[in-house]
């Protein structure tokens, strides 16, 4: 199988049951639902035990100023936010630090790494093929120039290796999985999507990533007919969408999507789009429109007549619109609906710059702050 060049800082994982928001048969006041969600969010943040690096980024302030990060890698698992915050990685189990990008045998690791086969079997070499497992943290990877791979035998558990059809050439493809966190990765120039979340996946956070030079950046939802994605919940937070990007930052279908405190400095068609009636809650982002006067709109409602998409619940709250950027809000948006698309408290859009300044894979040095 043909794999692209990449480097990996560390990847953590562990199995964990997925918590879901409980629903009540009794009718509840929508505003009380929102208040309850935000109280839960704030309580979770207080319990993270921040080290207070002062960046304003809640993930980074939780772990990056620890000079002993190399000995405390599992601390990262305490710092998750958003819908994927329960992806605890290797917090209470073994974890694997990849040091050799040349080890690309998807069935059997190199002989000297057999002691870590259990960990390696969950990695999904360069993320070219689908993740079928849950409770995974993918952190600190450079992923670029991914190409479709031919059909192959791939190990998908410690005990099983099965046949997989040709891959699409995605950077990261999350398939039928729960509790997934993709953080501090740098992605560019893949054949299909940079990050795709499809086929009933949910409880996913995509944070602190730096994405450049790509067309269809991020797909959240398989297709308009795949209604199993109606329960999908994805947080897209603290990412920098940089130069050379065209569209899908993200493109959403069916589910509930919280797009919060991201920096959008380039798009050639649109930034945030969707179809099949997704709920999109855009909060505290910074949108810098391109100079082309025809590309000022942040949003794109796709694959439906206006009479239909006018009812889709898309909201912009506290977003900073620059150089003529504008967000087309639609729907009436009951508070209880947006509560399902709320996963953390947004910071002011004026803080997006420092919060996303170190998005992407980090160059951490042992013995100093990361």
The pLDDT value given to residue 5: 33
Q: Is the pTM of this model over 0.95?
A: no
**Taking 60 as the threshold, does the pLDDT of residue 264 lie above it?**
yes
Superfamily of domain 8-19+36-356: Single-stranded right-handed beta-helix, Pectin lyase-like (2.160.20.10)
In Å, how far are 71, 151, 193, 245, 296 from 233, measured between CA atoms? 33, 30, 19, 24, 27
Among 98-107, 143-152, 194-203, which stretch is predicted with the lowest mean pLDDT?
98-107
The pLDDT value given to residue 332: 84
Active site residue 248: yes
Among 250-254, 280-284, 366-370, which stretch is predicted with the lowest mean pLDDT?
366-370
Catalytic residue among 73, 120, 155, 248: 248
Structure tokens at 104: 């690309």
**Taking 80 as the threshold, does the pLDDT of residue 24 lie above it?**
no
Among 15-29, 186-200, 267-281, 342-356, which stretch is predicted with the lowest mean pLDDT?
15-29
**In which region does residue 240 sit, left (phi positive, over 0), alpha (psi from -120 to 50) or beta (all else)?**
beta
In angstroms, the CA 171 to CA 128 distance is 6
Grade residue 365 by pLDDT with cuts at 50, 70 and 90: confident
For the chain, give the mean pLDDT.
Answer: 79
In angstroms, the CA 146 to CA 189 distance is 7
In angstroms, the CA 281 to CA 154 distance is 37
Q: Give the N- to C-terminal CA distance of the chain in Å, as an integer.
A: 34
The pLDDT value given to residue 301: 97
**332 with 314: CB under 8 angstroms?**
no
CB count within 10 Å of CB 247 equals 20
For residue 330, the 8-state DSSP code is: B
Polymer length of the chain = 370
Domain boundaries, the chain: 8-19+36-356
DSSP string, 138-151: EEEEEEES------
In angstroms, the CA 31 to CA 195 distance is 33
The pLDDT value given to residue 25: 36
Q: Which positions ≥6 away from 160 have C-beta within 8 Å? A: none
């Amino acid at each position: 199988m043909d794999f692209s060049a990449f480097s990996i800082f560390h990847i953590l994982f562990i199995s964990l049951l997925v918590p879901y928001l409980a629903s009540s048969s009794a009718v509840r006041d929508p505003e009380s639902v929102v208040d309850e969600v935000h109280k839960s969010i704030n309580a979770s943040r207080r319990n993270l035990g921040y080290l207070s690096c002062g960046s304003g980024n809640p993930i980074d302030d939780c772990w990056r100023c620890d000079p002993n990060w190399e000995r405390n890698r599992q601390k990262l698992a305490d710092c998750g936010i958003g819908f994927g915050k329960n992806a605890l990685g290797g917090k209470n189990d073994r974890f694997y630090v990849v040091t050799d990008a040349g080890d690309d045998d998807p069935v059997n690791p190199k002989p000297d790494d057999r002691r870590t086969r259990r960990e390696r079997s969950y990695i999904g070499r360069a993320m070219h093929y689908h993740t079928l497992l849950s409770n995974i943290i993918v952190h600190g990877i450079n992923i670029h120039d991914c190409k479709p791979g031919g059909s192959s035998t791939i190990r998908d558990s410690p005990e099983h290796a099965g046949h997989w059809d040709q891959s699409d050439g995605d950077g990261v493809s999350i398939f039928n999985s729960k509790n997934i966190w993709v953080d501090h990765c740098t992605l560019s120039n893949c054949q299909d999507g940079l990050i795709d979340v499809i086929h009933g996946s949910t409880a996913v956070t995509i944070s602190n990533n730096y994405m450049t030079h790509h067309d269809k950046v991020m797909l959240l939802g398989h297709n308009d007919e795949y209604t199993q994605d109606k329960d999908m919940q994805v947080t897209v937070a603290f990412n920098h969408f940089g130069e050379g990007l065209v569209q899908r930052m993200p493109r959403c279908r069916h589910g509930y999507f919280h797009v919060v405190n991201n920096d959008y400095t380039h798009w050639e068609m649109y930034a945030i789009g969707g179809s099949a009636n997704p709920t999109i809650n855009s909060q505290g982002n910074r949108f810098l429109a391109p100079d082309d006067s025809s590309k000022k709109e942040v949003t794109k409602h796709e694959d439906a007549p206006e009479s239909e998409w006018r009812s889709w619940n898309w909201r912009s709250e506290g977003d900073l619109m620059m150089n003529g950027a504008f967000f087309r809000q639609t729907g009436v948006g009951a508070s209880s609906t947006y509560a399902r698309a709320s996963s953390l408290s947004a910071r002011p859009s004026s803080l997006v710059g420092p919060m996303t300044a170190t998005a992407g894979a980090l160059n951490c040095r042992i013995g100093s702050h990361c």
